[in-house]
Amino acid sequence: MKNLYQEAKNCFLTVDPDEKLELSLQIAGAWEAGSLEWKDGESPLQLDTPGRQDKPVLVKPAKVKNRGFKSIQQRAALIHALTHIELTAVNLAWDSVYRYRHLPEEYYADWVKTAKEETQHFFLLRNSLRDMGYDYGDLPAHDELWQMAVTTADDLMARMAIVHRVLEARALDVVPFSVGKFRDIGDKKTADSLIIIANDEIGHVNAGSRWFRYRCEQEKTDPDKMFFTLMEKYLKSTPKGPFNTDARLKAGFSPAEMQELQRLDLQYKTAKKANGKC
């Protein structure tokens, strides 16, 4: 019987994206069939860099091409950025399987399922990108999401909180807006793909919420307070609204967390407005 951790490692280190994604689906299928050993395995290595090709060229976030909806070039830049995020999310999911051990079976089931769905998301977005005359790797991308994964790698609680409940959760707020824009310009295929992605992302963020709270319970700490403590430690600022409250509640955010996010967002906007008048 093959070992889940070794398979996750192999997928994480695979360079060619097509091979990586095919392997991702194969591993998920083997897990679903119950044909992967997961209770034992070699101790994880410190793997900080996933296998990847030279393209897309990685640049600072400010250097990524202008994204929007006014031209096909702007729309392609947007979809290319999302496609890169999905491939990063595949690496993230398999890293979460490989890196963290001695957790309940449900933990590994969550991240195998996430890896499978992120793989499917990549295919959906890449198809739209090709319809626009581009392909993955044609445009530059930034690596901010993966770098935060590396920064939080030694702390499961921080990884779940910051990578999934802050960075990934942003999709819950912004993707529905993009759905409407693509519908307005008659691109039903991309809009439908984004709806699938938005619905699945609720489950992915919910997995982050579940295992964040699991670790908080183990360490006997208040998750609502710890979430903001970790944001203060790892981030320069808190998320900005508007927030998709319904989606975030479905994704495991508590009413208290949402109230505090709204308060901090209002505080930020009030201060920004006041400074603008000076």
Is residue 17 within 8 A of residue 53, CB to CB? The reply is yes
Q: Is 138 left (phi over 0), alpha (psi -120 to 50) or beta?
A: alpha
Per-residue pLDDT tens over the stretch 133-164:
999 999 999 999 999 999 999 999 999 999 99
112 closest CA partner among 257, 198, 194, 8: 8
Q: How many CB atoms neighbour CB 263 within 10 A?
A: 11
Task: Based on DSSP, count helices (H) and strands (E) in the chain, helices before strands.
Answer: 11, 2
Q: In degrees rounded to 5, what are phi and psi of residue 220? A: 55, 50
pLDDT digits (tens, 9 = 90+) for 187-230: 999 999 999 999 999 999 999 999 999 999 999 999 999 999 99
CATH of domain 47-277: 1.20.1260
User: In the chain, what percentage of residues exceed pLDDT 90?
Assistant: 91
Whose structure tokens read 């935060």? 148
Rounded average pLDDT over 47-70: 90
- Is the predicted pLDDT of residue 251 greater than 60, yes or no? yes
User: Above 70 in pLDDT, residue 278?
Assistant: no
Q: Which two tokens stand for residue 219?
A: 């360490």
* Averaged pLDDT for residues 86-108: 97
- How is residue 145 written in tokens? 């999401």
pTM, two decimal places: 0.95
